[in-house]
Amino acid sequence: MPSHLQLASDELTRYVLPVYVDDERGYPDQVGTCFIVRFQGRHYLVTAAHVLEHRVRGDLYFYCGSRLKASILSGRLLTTSREGVDVAVAQLHRDISAPPYRDIEKLAFDIYQLRPRMLPRGGNEYLVLGYPATKNVFRRADSQVVMTTYTYHGPSSALSAYELLGLSEESHILIAFKQRQQFSGRGGRIDFPNPRGMSGGPILLFDSDRPIDFTFGFPVVGVATEHRRHHAAIQGTDVSVALRLIGELHSSSA
């Protein structure tokens, strides 16, 4: 594994958070991944729209400290769930401490790091960041959640895959998914776990030929939404949808 790829993974996993709802026993049950975007002094949580469907089970939240929960539903939110376009944005309530969350070493993206419609897709390499649910464990002995971030690195799917699935390159991203010889957010070759739970995580454009530049070199280009198992792909929605929803929330609260 190229050293700069590992360095990129270690740095970028600081920008993602798991999303939880309590199960029937009152224990945290991870249902997705999210990331936070800073825009003109306000903060917006981005995830997949279907992750918010779990709110029928109770309050959705993330941890902004080792034991401190922050409700996703305490502020205003917008979702879109048209066929294949699966994004939600929640404006974080001002009562929630703004990132950085130093206790758990988590950061927010600045809005300029989100780059819509970076075409063409073909030939690009991508990173998908998130929390596979099978690797996110609530430890009852000390009431601690053990969070393990994973980074998937893969190329764009062939353009024929977009056509087969009836997806537009402009609004979607398809990344070829091969489970073998990947790596976790903390290093080491692994067979990648089932990506369930990574929905809502950011998709970043990765250029293996460029030097590391965490400010400009890893633009957020999409939101992961679905594992297309039968097509060996991870599907995402272009980040332009998240930017539009952030803009609508921001304008209505100005």
Residue 184: band (very low, low, confident or very high) from pLDDT cuts 50, 70, 90? low
Q: What is the mean pLDDT of the chain?
A: 86
Can you give the pLDDT at residue 254? Answer: 64
pTM of the model: 0.91
Q: What are phi and psi of 171, to 5 degrees?
A: -105, -10
Is 203 exposed, middle or buried (CB count within 10 Å of its CB: 0-12, 13-18, 19+)? buried
- Asked whether the beta carbons of 162 and 114 are under 8 A apart, the reply is no
The span from the CA of 92 to the CA of 113, in Å, is 19
Residue 171 has pLDDT above 80, yes or no: yes
Cis before residue 193, ω within 30 degrees of 0? Answer: no
Q: When comparing pLDDT for 216 and 65, which is higher?
A: 65
CA gap 61, 30 in Å, rounded:
10
**More confident: 142 or 64:** 64
For the ranges 54-63, 73-82, 105-114, 128-137, which has the lowest average pLDDT? 73-82
pLDDT at 153 exceeding the cut of 50: yes
User: Whole-angstrom Cα distance, residue 39 to residue 53?
Assistant: 26
Measured from the Cβ of residue 214, the count of other Cβ atoms closer than 10 Å reads 13
Q: Which pLDDT band, with edges at 50, 70 and 90, does 1 fall under?
A: very low
User: What tokens does 95 get?
Assistant: 């009562």
Burial (0-12, 13-18, 19+ Cβ within 10 Å), 85: middle
Average pLDDT of span 137-150: 76
Please state the domain extents for the chain. Answer: 3-252
Superfamily of domain 3-252: Trypsin-like serine proteases (2.40.10.10)
Q: Which one-letter amino acid corresponds to residue 207? A: D
Q: What is the DSSP letter of 154?
A: E
Residue ranges of E strands in 59-159: 60-63, 69-71, 77-80, 87-91, 109-110, 125-130, 137-139, 144-146, 150-155
**Structural tokens at position 230:** 């039968």
What was the pLDDT predicted at 128?
Answer: 95
Q: Which of 2-6, 86-90, 155-159, 165-169 has the lowest mean pLDDT?
A: 2-6
Residue 13 has pLDDT above 70, yes or no: yes
Alpha-carbon span 77 to 180, nearest angstrom: 37
pLDDT digits (tens, 9 = 90+) for 52-65: 999 999 999 999 88
